[in-house]
Copies of this chain bind each other. A is one copy, B any other.
Amino acid sequence: MAERATPDLAISARWILPVEPAGATLEEHAVLVRGGRIEAIVPADRLPPMDPERIVSRPQHVLLPGLVNAHTHAAMSLLRATTPGPALDAWLRERVWPLEARLVSPDFVADGTELAIAEMLLGGITCFADMYFHPEVAARVARSSGVRAVIGVPIFEQATRWTSGLDDSLGRCLELHDRYRSDALVGTSFALHSSSLTTDATLAHVRTLADQLQCPVMIHLLEAASERPRVLRNHGRGPLERLEAAGLLNDLLVAVHCVHASAAEIERIAHGGASVVHCPASNLRLGNGIAPVSTMREAGVNVALGTDGAASNDSLDILAEARLAALLACGSTGNGHALSAHEALGMATLAGARSLGLADVTGSLLPGKWADIACMALHGPAIEPVTDVAEAVIHAAGRAAVSDVWIAGRCVVRDRRLVHIDTVDLMDRCRHQGARVVAALAANAGQ
């Protein structure tokens, strides 16, 4: 029998939550990594012979798959806590869009995206799906920071400060897709703002291209209660019907929010194989309500988790979203077992990967997948005693417990510090951008 090659890295920990198989908890095991991928998970006392310097020991810790933030607008981290508003439509039209008109530029996107990535990495997020202006800048920043990302290219029909119209938007999407088509970490997707802002012709066009490229199509769907009546009035059918008619209701579709999806719509989403991204904090903050996650899961929908942008959340914290999702599922159904800690963790990892077409790549600690791993320290007065590891991760520990993070086997956070991002320089740039934000807020208020 041929001897196995020596692993590049072994990470041993008190506990491992591999997510696959579902509900499993391993004690005193180690993840073996070779060539950036998970080679095996073995009992910690049966490591193969290897250089001790390549063994990382985390004796009070848990290893879990790197978390997946399946929906954000990363650069909006520069607009954190600036724009609480009474309701989604007014918030966009009166607060966000005027601010963006003053502020958004390639530099703004570069600094904001790097800020978001820094926050996400420190919180155990190894993969995110983005949707914002200047996606070519976001892709470049993601690539250089070593995070896994699916960069959504916004498809605008009108001219914006970024593109001259539909053809330009689509062309940029294809160009970006081409540039990253063999990249191990960065991929692309089509990002439609919402059904109410997109014509049938564009939906059909995007469908054709997405099918050819096998790229995800992201769209905000049924976020506010006002969406269905408005779309019905303007387009003659509801938002989901329009996607269905365009052939977009399939497993490439990433339907974000779905707060106001009816039981019948949920059945059709499930039947089409589309994913939903649940963004509970943003949905509450903007007064949109609570998405019917338990109904979706019972119908067989793949429900992932997203933070949304920092302007409607303030915190790109997927562990907080997972806890909130579990609490809301229990509180809104009257059933304290509606969403277990293991299930919430699955939403924060594997379901996110699946929504982005990356279930073979990341989202669980299965041999053959890339070694995207978060490590959390489960000790101290806020966490111990630990009697159930998944409960401790979701309900007690929080992202402050994240100690180390690896992406494709490369360490990006060590002892709660970013390895490859110069935090001092980044925060200097972000404070400078923050001053611009304050000036823009004042200028808008003065108009």
| Alpha-carbon distance between A315 and B340 when the two chains are bound, in angstroms | 16
Contact of A81 among B81, B87, B395, B437 (CB under 8 A): B395
Question: CA separation between A86 and B334, bound complex, in Å?
Answer: 8
Contact with B along A105-133 (1 / 0, CB 8 A): 00000000001001100110000000000
B91 adjacent to A398 (CB under 8 Å): no
Interface 0/1 of A385-409, CB less than 8 Å to B: 1111001100110111000000000
Which residue of the partner chain, among B317, B396, B438, contacts A80 with CB atoms under 8 Å?
A: B396
Report yes or no: A427 in contact with B288, Cβ–Cβ below 8 A. Answer: no
Among the listed B86, B327, B340, which residue makes an inter-chain contact with A337, where contact means beta carbons less than 8 Å apart? B86
* Contacting pair B431 A330 (CB below 8 A): no
Are A336 and B289 neighbours in the complex by a CB distance under 8 Å?
A: no
B434 x A385 contact (CB < 8 A):
yes
| A283-B331, A285-B327, A288-B331 as given contacts; A337 in contact with B381, CB under 8 Å | no
Chain B residues contacting A310 (CB-CB under 8 Å) are 396
A152 to chain B, nearest CB (A): 22
Which B residues touch A326, using CB under 8 A?
A: 285
B398 touches A82 (CB 8 A): no
Asked if A427 meets B331 with Cβ closer than 8 Å, knowing A314-B391, A434-B387, the reply is no
User: How many of A's residues come within 8 Å of B, CB to CB?
Assistant: 73
A381 touches B315 (CB 8 A): no
Determine if A81 and B331 form an interchain contact, defined as CB atoms under 8 angstroms apart: no
A85 sits at the interface (CB 8 A): yes
Number of copies: 2
Is A335 close to B, CB under 8 A?
yes
A51 at the interface (CB under 8 A from B): no
- Of chain B, the residue at the smallest CB distance from A340 is B84
Determine which of B84, B85, B385 lies in contact with A433 in the assembled complex, contact meaning CB atoms within 8 Å: B385
What is the CA–CA distance of A431 and B386 in the complex, to the nearest angstrom?
8
Chain A contacts with B in 402-438, Cβ cutoff 8 A? 423, 426-427, 430-431, 433-435, 437-438
Query: A381 touching B336 by the CB < 8 A rule?
Result: no
Please judge, given known A-B contacts A119-B382, A336-B286, A382-B123, whether A387 and B331 are in contact too, CB under 8 Å.
no
Asked if A186 is at the interface of the complex by the 8 Å CB criterion, the answer is no
Q: Are B331 and A122 in touch, CB under 8 angstroms?
A: no
Determine the chain B residues whose CB is within 8 A of the CB of A441 once the complex forms: 387
> Is the pair A381, B314 in contact by a Cβ cutoff of 8 Å?
no
Give Cα distance in the complex from A441 to B385, angstroms.
13
Assess whether A315 is in contact with B382, with CB atoms less than 8 Å apart. Answer: yes
Within the assembled complex, what's the spacing in Å between the Cα atoms of A106 and B326?
A: 34
Q: List 7 A-B contacts (CB under 8 A).
A: A87-B334, A91-B336, A283-B331, A287-B333, A288-B331, A385-B431, A387-B434
- 5 smallest CB-CB distances across A and B, nearest first, come from A385-B434, A284-B331, A81-B391, A118-B381, A400-B400
